Amino acid sequence: MGKRIILFLLIIAGVLILTNYGMTPRRVGVVKNSTYDAAADGIQASVIERAGTDGFDVLIEGRSLADFDYGVRLGNNMEVCCSEKFLEDIVGCSINNYNSGVVTVERKDIKIVYSETGDSAKVFHDDEPSDRVDFDGKVFENDAGDKYLPVSSVLDDLGYETEYIYSRRAMDFRCIDDGRFLPDQYDMRKRGRVTPVRDQGIYGTCWAFASLGALETVLMPREEIIYSVDHMSKNNDFSLDLSQGGEHGMSISYLASWHGPVLDKDDPYGDDTTDKDLPAVKHLEEAIIMKKRDDDTIKGAIFKYGGVETSLYLELPYGGNYSPYYNSESFSYYYDGAERPNHAVVLVGWDDHYPKERFRKTPLHDGAYICKNSWGDSFGDKGYFYVSYDDVNLCQETVIYSKLSDTDDFDHIYQSDILGWVGQMGFSQESAYFANCYTAGDKENLSAVSFYATGDDTTFSVYVVRHFKDKKSLNERVLVGEGQTRYAGYYTVEFDEAIPLDDGEKFAVIVNINTPGSERPIAIECDDGERTRNLILSDGEGYMSLYGEVWHKAEKSDCNICLKAFTKNRDEE
């Protein structure tokens, strides 16, 4: 691609010079004197400067992606540089940033390694150096800190070709392979993307180890943090002791409420103490919940984002080696019975060719997921084991912690659903409106909301009401955003423009949601027996409506609406 742009610029430069000599009916050569060189260099510098600042309109098969803010820039040598977001989301690459400065880009059996010195990059096929000559690998960042990687020389290796459309200042990318970006084998351990194996001991805390084990991988290998299982298992607001177990809904509500995560060193596991006032060190903004198995999506999430939390039925005593379903020599497990899941693990890789003969009981097909357990490193393969693709429980429900932010994303959280998504409410229709009302502090801008999509392919619209007086005010709502989610889960929607709130102003946030196939699309906090003994309904003012016209008080139905609001402090002179 770089060569095409340079050729085009030289042609333009030649045309500009020819115009100085007047029109001529015959083809003549261009004398490449200093004027020619200066013109070519000047045009190239102008295009680089403009593209480096403003970027290009990005097209896929001729269709613009301008609304998605995917960045493409030109480097100093006319090298096409794509943002990490574009390479992940569109090209299907796995990108890893290491503290040394090395950046790796992987797709199928291709790996590109950008050196810490920034002066070259190497291409590997199946982890073996290719015959390709090293190329200029200068990585750069824009003012917002977004990283751009030069890819002109390797786009065909990554399954794409591109064309620069000068008249539109656009870059058109076209897929030239089958579009499948996943390798047959992938192991996060080999890429420094997992934290150490830990041991749950005598407690039923596998759910917390699995949740935080997956969460810890989201920012790796650039940032390795060990989060406190002790704090999550003791400060999640559900009334369950450590022997009773738990599930991912408890983990998500704990994280979404900013109760955590906290650092393991500040609240070590198994010491019988905890500090509920420890501040969260990160904020969870998104967690995808897949309620049915989709191996391509699960593998893609591992490949691009990190470990995936799931559960299985493990008929194996804690720390033991014998089970009719476990092969202790190959560390492999396959269950085909009728029992429901009883243990949570983290998926950290896969092998499509893992021989079915390695399982004690032979499944129908080859292939296995690599699972990180919480029984210490003396179990299995240093704490890991292989589970057959044919296992009846594995991946029937999975959680992908897909967006984790620093704590400066927002300054304040407004919420009344500390227990999170416990039940569902609705009007026997796929769509409904729901709202929560809050009172602002001083000098705050309303910046985002978060809520749960209770099913796949949910569409939503977000509204705001200023100076709320009573439920009639909800009909004066103003649209501030809309979108769609592919899977159920917890989602944060940040507004394009923050809304300044008056000091002490009462405001409302509203979501209109449509979840295909659901009769109760609204996620609610409600009574669910002994485990929700700590439920508090007096802390909320929520409303529900079928068409957004007649509103019903949520608390009169013994529930709180799962709809949070987030603000940022406003700097004023």
pLDDT, tens digit, 9 for 90 and up, residues 476-535:
999 999 999 999 999 999 999 999 999 999 999 999 999 999 999 999 999 998 889 888
User: Of residues 140 and 99, which shows the higher confidence score?
Assistant: 99
Rounded Cα gap, residues 246 and 204, in angstroms: 8
User: Of residues 503 and 178, which shows the higher confidence score?
Assistant: 503
Q: What pLDDT, in 10s, does the model give residues 293-345?
A: 999 999 999 999 999 999 999 998 887 788 999 999 999 999 999 999 999 99
Angle at which helices 2-19 and 34-54 pack, to 10 degrees? 130
Q: Which residues pair with 289 in a beta bridge?
A: 399, 488
Query: Given a cut of 90, is residue 406 above it in pLDDT?
Result: yes
* Residue 11 confidence class, pLDDT cut points 50, 70, 90: very low
- Pick the range with the lowest mean pLDDT from 54-58, 144-148, 230-234, 449-453: 54-58
Q: What's the confidence (pLDDT) of residue 171?
A: 84
Query: Given a cut of 80, is residue 48 above it in pLDDT?
Result: no
Q: Hey, what are 71's tokens?
A: 């960045």
Q: What pLDDT, in 10s, does the model give residues 257-289?
A: 999 999 999 999 988 899 999 999 999 999 999
Q: What's the confidence (pLDDT) of residue 132?
A: 63
Query: Given a cut of 50, is residue 98 above it in pLDDT?
Result: yes
DSSP-based three-state secondary structure for 388: strand
Rounded Cα gap, residues 371 and 310, in angstroms: 9
Q: What's the confidence (pLDDT) of residue 2?
A: 32
pTM: 0.87
* Residue 136 confidence class, pLDDT cut points 50, 70, 90: low
Which helix (H) or strand (E) covers residue 94, if one does? strand 94-97
Q: Where in 457-550 does DSSP place strands (E)?
A: 458-465, 478-485, 488-501, 506-514, 522-526, 542-545
Rounded Cα gap, residues 479 and 188, in angstroms: 42
Q: What's the confidence (pLDDT) of residue 54?
A: 53
Q: What's the confidence (pLDDT) of residue 530?
A: 86
Query: Given a cut of 50, is residue 17 above it in pLDDT?
Result: no
Q: What's the confidence (pLDDT) of residue 31?
A: 40
The 10 Å CB-count burial string (b at 16+, else e) for 156-169 is ebbbbebebeeeee
Q: Hey, what are 545's tokens?
A: 């409506």
Q: What's the confidence (pLDDT) of residue 101?
A: 85
